[in-house]
Amino acid sequence: MADTLELVSSTCTFGGWHKRYRHRSTATGTTMTFAIYLPPQAQGGSVPVLYWLSGLTCTDENFATKAGAQRVAAELGLALVMPDTSPRGDGVADADGYDLGQGAGFYVNATQAPWAAHYRMYDYVVDELPALVEAHFPVTQQRAISGHSMGGHGALMIALRNPGRYRSVSAFAPIVNPSAVPWGQKAFAAYLGEDRSTWLSYDSCHQLEIAVERLPMLVDQGEQDGFMPEQLQPDVLARVARQHDWPLTLRRQPGYDHSYYFIASFIEDHLRFHAQHLAA
């Protein structure tokens, strides 16, 4: 039953179809929901896929309804896949606060109780979901990955840890150095335990330092983002990239905050960036 998809909804937009599915996940041991946007081009052939990882508190719906990405995906012939941000349900551990537990999976495989039972979002996003998508939909194995905030951390970290799996990676206001900031420290202590050496495998700045294979990387950061100095640390990513001569384009956008109004403003640039590398 693990590869059975239950269609939740199917909505026409920009000449393509935005579809939501539920399925039983082997990785998390729960029922997971994800969305896929199939552009018009998918009706006549296979299209490459951009995976989008959302931030704290989000489901698959935030990016789907607020980013305006389907318009550009329809033009470029790109499928968009939008997973949830954690396992959910009555039997799934949770915590008070928006930054731990349901809606805050941080794209790691938890090793600590009570989280280890279901919080295996790394395996879900890296392995299970792409296998499912590539088995059920008219898509190629050309993949790109992007995300916002916690999902920006997820996108960068996953792309860096899996050379050859993605053609390009981008992020909006990513948590680039979670080992060193409050959001990441709280989540990693809970999910991974107090041995900080285990945190580094999920830290983009560390992964970039040890990466063996380069891939194009685009990061946008709003300069009026209230989370920037404490939680996001784009300067640290820029420094590590410089030290390692890494192909990072980091753009600082004056006036912009952390919201979907920021993402919507620049998602077209990101999709064109990915389309260019997916076609190369």
Which residue in the list 60, 203, 220, 225 is annotated as catalytic?
225
Q: CB of residue 37 vs a second copy: minimum separation in angstroms?
A: 10
Distances (CA, A) of 243 to 25, 160, 205, 216, 247: 40, 16, 11, 16, 11
Site residues (CB under 8 A) for a second copy, limited to 202-241: 222, 224
Cis amide linkage into residue 216, ω under 30° from 0: no
Do the beta carbons of residue 39 and residue 12 sit within 8 Å?
A: no
Please identify, among the stretches 14-22, 129-137, 144-152, 180-188, the one whose residues bind a second copy according to the rule CB under 8 A. Answer: 14-22
| Angle (CA) 182 183 186, round 5° | 80
Residue 145, strand partner residues: 51, 169
Q: Does 172 participate in binding a second copy (rule CB under 8 A)?
A: no
Active site residue 10: no
Q: Does 18 participate in binding a second copy (rule CB under 8 A)?
A: yes
Q: CB of residue 259 vs a second copy: minimum separation in angstroms?
A: 6
Site residues (CB under 8 A) for a second copy, limited to 62-121: 65-66, 68, 70-71
Q: Does 260 participate in binding a second copy (rule CB under 8 A)?
A: yes
Nearest partner of 271 among 134, 97, 74, 53, judged by Cα: 74
Count the neighbouring beta carbons within 10 Å of the beta carbon of residue 24. Answer: 15
Please identify, among the stretches 86-94, 113-121, 133-141, 253-261, the one whose residues bind a second copy according to the rule CB under 8 A. Answer: 253-261
**Kind plus residue range of the DSSP H or E element containing 53:** strand 47-53
Q: Which parts of this chain interact with a second copy (CB under 8 A)?
A: 11-15, 18, 65-66, 68, 70-71, 222, 224, 255-257, 259-262, 264-265
By annotation, the residues acting in catalysis are 149, 225, 258
